[in-house]
Structure 1
Amino acid sequence: MPRSNRPRGRAARADDVADLDLSRAIAGWRRTETRRGASWNVQPVAASKSTKVYVCPGCGNEIEAGAAHLVVWRADGVLGDANDLEARRHWHSHCWKVA
């Protein structure tokens, strides 16, 4: 009899799939960083999800549609989360690293 290459462990079940944190997968691995004495939410945007042109506040150049970049907003703003989200900015990844 030929050898089977299928794993012999437990099979993936629907319950296992439901346990995945879908919001984290969609969010693109958002993280919090501290810069210039403030906390910032930093969320990567994949090139395939980038559909508009933005201006990077770090260098003043355009971030072309289809280019991977970062979306950054305050994590500790005093005016609330809604205002912080409205004030979010799109940065080139390398510009954010040196900011």
Structure 2
Amino acid sequence: MSPRRNRPRAEDVAPLDGDRARRGVEAVQSWRDGDWQVRSITAGAAVKTYRCPGCQQEIPPGTPHLVAWPADGRGDLTDRRHWHNGCWRARERRSPTVERSRSAPRYG
């Protein structure tokens, strides 16, 4: 008896689309504020600097992160936001109205 195969056969695997791999994998995530279309961005595909709305810090090129936008079609391409992965996961625990730098005093 031969050992069990752990990998799929080459003929069973669809070829990887290079453009799709660079864009990342999309998924819909449900949160209290609605459904969001979320796409993971790999380090190799991150070529620009963005500002994370969760922490107001820059996401430099080469940093894996994600892009999120409303899934119900209520927005357009300008509603896409690039987030640090941890900031996206912690966004419901943050106060949405408080924006401060790292060295700012924390009152209240």
Task: Output the TM-score relative to the length of structure 2.
Answer: 0.64
List per-residue Cα deviations over 1:34-89 (Å, max 9, x = no partner): 1123110110000011111100000000001110000111101335xxx1x22100
Determine helix, strand or coil for the equivalent of 1:94.
helix
Considering fraction of residues, name the structure with more helix.
1
Write out the 4+ residue segments of structure 1 that deviate beyond 6 Å after TM superposition. Answer: none
Q: CA deviation at 1:27?
A: 3.9
Q: Aligned-residue CA RMSD in angstroms? A: 2.5
**Aligned equivalent of 1:92:** 84
- Segments of 5+ residues of structure 2 without an aligned counterpart are 1-8, 92-108
1:74 corresponds to 2:65: no
- Segments of 5+ residues of structure 1 without an aligned counterpart are 1-10
- Contact map agreement 2:22 2:42 (CA 8 A) in 1: no
**Aligned equivalent of 1:28:** 24
Structure 2 CA distance for partners of 1:21 and 1:49, relative to 1, 3 Å: closer
Larger gyration radius, structure 1 or structure 2: 1
How many residue pairs get aligned? The number is 83
